[in-house]
Structure 1
């Protein structure tokens, strides 16, 4: 992709030149690129799935921009990277689910009141972490929301039920971000 600072040759060109080149302005510079080509045939199932995901992401980003409550748009604006706008930041957030990095069970011995620490990250913000504890036989013992620590990365869940025997128990942490994407991690004790 070529760049120009509005030279004599490119001037203030905009649009396409035949079916070969496209001119547009980006950050005060004229940018020249190859013209996109039309796709032949129907999309594969994977391409159709990607197109559907991108369509939903686009609708989400437009809703953020058009919302009368500008709080989310301002929050996205506060974390823009170079050459990014609120629309593209919201689109990126929709397409990037949160990741549960770890579940720390060091302080969980199967007693009520024991703590489970979860570390969850997102490219923008994790809004909640749900913890589910299953007994060794697969029965759901308890589930609830963890409380966010002051560092913004870690979440703490306090057990409310007794879990004996502890061996073979399963703990699942499910993180949710602003566009309600979910990411999870499972550990077996």
Structure 2
């Protein structure tokens, strides 16, 4: 393997040259290597699972290109990214990665109607929905409802039922992205 930086003849070149070498660009470096042939062994269970996920993600990304409204969301995110990604690339990544629930701010939740819960949810574009459930320590469901998006990555849920036993209560948050990936996290109130 050889790495060629700032080579006039190989800049931004990728592909195979005859049956001898393959040229790839990795992290702004042009990499020359021996041509790799087809794999001779059948994929193992883990490899098959990854291939299936990739196939599903590629199908999702193709469907995004056919939907003008969703494509515009991904294109806007691609245009603001610093990595030069396309709408297809971000849709593919979104299909692979579930949203990440970074934090739930429970300091203002005292068990009263109208108390806010602030939730930080990160995703490739943005979460499609955030559902909050509050459960007492004894397992009794207090309430469930949708959080409202406040700004990028920040969602807010406003309590609609009184909770007389806040200590030990669990705040369950379910974040779903545009690709229908779900993340479920429990936080203590």
User: With structure 2 as the length reference, what TM-score do the two structures score?
Assistant: 0.78
Residues 59-84 of structure 1 show CA distances to partners (whole Å, capped at 9, x for unaligned) of 11112223355524533442344453
The reply to whether residue 122 of structure 1 matches residue 153 of structure 2 is: no
Q: In the alignment, which residue of structure 1 is the partner of 2:113?
A: 112
| CA drift at 1:87 | 2.0
User: Does the 8 Å contact 1:103/1:187 carry over to 2?
Assistant: yes
Distance 2:145 2:36 in 1: 49
Distance 2:167 2:147 in 1: 23
| CA drift at 1:129 | 1.4
| CA drift at 1:117 | 1.3
User: Does the 8 Å contact 2:14/2:22 carry over to 1?
Assistant: no
Distance 1:112 1:13 in 2: 60
Q: In the alignment, which residue of structure 2 is the partner of 1:155?
A: 155
Distance 2:83 2:100 in 1: 24
Computed over aligned residues only, the root mean square deviation of the Cα atoms, in angstroms, reads 3.0
Q: In the alignment, which residue of structure 2 is the partner of 1:42?
A: 42
| CA drift at 1:95 | 1.4
| CA drift at 1:113 | 1.6
Number of aligned positions between the proteins:
182
Distance 1:14 1:73 in 2: 28
Q: Secondary structure at the match of 1:65?
A: helix
Distance 2:138 2:153 in 1: 31
Q: In the alignment, which residue of structure 2 is the partner of 1:175?
A: 175
1:44/1:107 CA distance change after superposition, 3 Å: same
| CA drift at 1:162 | 1.7
User: With structure 1 as the length reference, what TM-score do the two structures score?
Assistant: 0.78
